[in-house]
Structure 1
Amino acid sequence: MLIFPKTLIDKLSVVNESYEEMDYVELDICEPMEVIDNDSFDMIIDKATLDAVLCNQKPQERVLQMMENIYRILAPGGIYISISNGIPETREQIFKMKEWSIERGEIPSESAHEGDNMHHIYVMTK
C-alpha cells in the first residue's frame, strides 16, 4: 500500500492499473488512521511532510498525531525516513518522542533556507 496526495493517487491509479497488488489510499497522516493495521509498513518516506505540518495551526497536536501514526503503522525493524529543511536541533526533539534509533545525514540543496544549503535526512528505525 502506498499513501500519496489525491491528485497523485488519481494519476498513479491510471498509470499503474496493471499492478493489481498496488493500492493507493488518501489519508491525513495527522488524523487517527484506523483503516491501516499496526505494523503494516517496512518503510515510510516523508519528503517535507513534517515541515508542512509544522506550518499548520496547532502544530504540536498535529505533529504528535503524525508521530503516533507513523510509529504505530511502522513494523518492528521498519524505517521512517524524513527529508526536511528543519535543522537537527528542532527535528530531533520531535523524533525523540518515540523509542527508535535516530541517524542523520545531509545532502546539498539549492532550495534550502538561506544560510543552510542542506536538506537534512533523518532515518529512524523502530
Structure 2
Amino acid sequence: MWWSLLSKYVRPSDRILMVGCGNSTFSMDMYNAGFHHITNIDFSKVVIERMRAKYNDKMPQMKWLEADMTKLCDVFAPETFDVVIDKAAMDALMCDEGDVWSPSKTVIEQAAAMCSGITSVLVPRGTFLQISFAQPHFRKRFLLGEGEQAVSSAVYGWDYSYHNIDIGFGYFFYELVKSS
C-alpha cells in the first residue's frame, strides 16, 4: 500500500532527501527500485558511518550525511531537493511531547524548525512526504504551523493531504506540496 502511494509522488529522476534515515532499509529499497539520487541524513554519527560503510560500494550514488533535520538550512542550499521523505523521524521528536493535546514548547519549536528547513530545501512544487503513526488530528498542527487549521499552510507555503494506510496497527501517509 505505502509503495503504491510513494510511487505516485516520486520519480526515479527526483533528488530525494531522507530525513532521520536511521538504520532502516527504506532508502536501499528505493535505490533498488530505481531511485538513485538519495541523500540520507541522521544526527547519529555512528549510524551514518555504519550505513555508509555497508552501502557505499553497492549504491555509489547514494549519499550519507551526519546532519540535524531541524537545521537543514545549515547543510543544504535552498531548493536543493524535489522530494523530502520522513519515515517516522518527526515521530521521534514527539517523544518529548508528554501530552498530545498540549505539546511542550520545545516540541513545537523543533517541529517548526524541521518544517521550515524542509520547505526551504524543496524546489517550488516539490513534495514533502511523511509516513507516521501520528493521527491527522494531532499531526496537522505541526505540518501546517501553529494555529493553522485549513489544508494550506501560510507558514510553510504548502498544501496538505493525507491517506490512511491499513497495515499492521495502521499509519498515515502525509503529502505536502510546496507552492510554486
TM-score range, shorter chain: 0.7 to 0.9
Tell me, yes or no, if structure 1 residue 106 matches structure 2 residue 164: yes
**Aligned partner of 1:66 among 89, 107, 114:** 114
Q: Which has the higher contact order (CA 8 A, sep 6+)?
A: 1
Q: Which residue of the partner structure matches residue 50 of structure 2?
A: 11
Q: CA deviation at 1:9?
A: 2.5
Q: CA deviation at 1:118?
A: 1.5
> Runs of 4 or more off by more than 6 Å in structure 1?
none
Contact 1:81 1:124 in 2 (8 A): yes
1:53-79 deviations in Å (ceiling 9; x for gaps): 122371111111111111111111111
Q: Which residue of the partner structure matches residue 55 of structure 1?
A: 95
Unaligned runs of 5+ in 2: 1-38, 98-105, 146-155
Contact 1:27 1:33 in 2 (8 A): no
Report the TM-score, using the length of structure 1 for normalisation: 0.81
Q: Which residue of the partner structure matches residue 171 of structure 2?
A: 119
1:60-115 deviations in Å (ceiling 9; x for gaps): 111111111111111111111111111111111222222211121011232xxxxx
With over 3 angstroms needed to count, the CA separation of the structure-2 counterparts of 1:32 and 1:100, relative to structure 1, is closer
Mapped to 2, the partners of 1:100 and 1:70 lie a distance apart of 11
Tell me, yes or no, if structure 1 residue 43 matches structure 2 residue 95: no
Q: How many residue pairs are counted as aligned between the two chains?
A: 120
Q: CA deviation at 1:29?
A: 0.8
Identity %: 26
Report the TM-score, using the length of structure 2 for normalisation: 0.59
Mapped to 2, the partners of 1:17 and 1:77 lie a distance apart of 33
Contact 1:50 1:63 in 2 (8 A): yes
Q: CA deviation at 1:17?
A: 3.2
With over 3 angstroms needed to count, the CA separation of the structure-2 counterparts of 1:32 and 1:121, relative to structure 1, is closer
Map 1:25-44 to 2 at 5 A.
25-31=65-71, 33-44=73-84
Supply the RMSD in Å over aligned alpha carbons.
Answer: 2.1
Q: CA deviation at 1:3?
A: 2.0
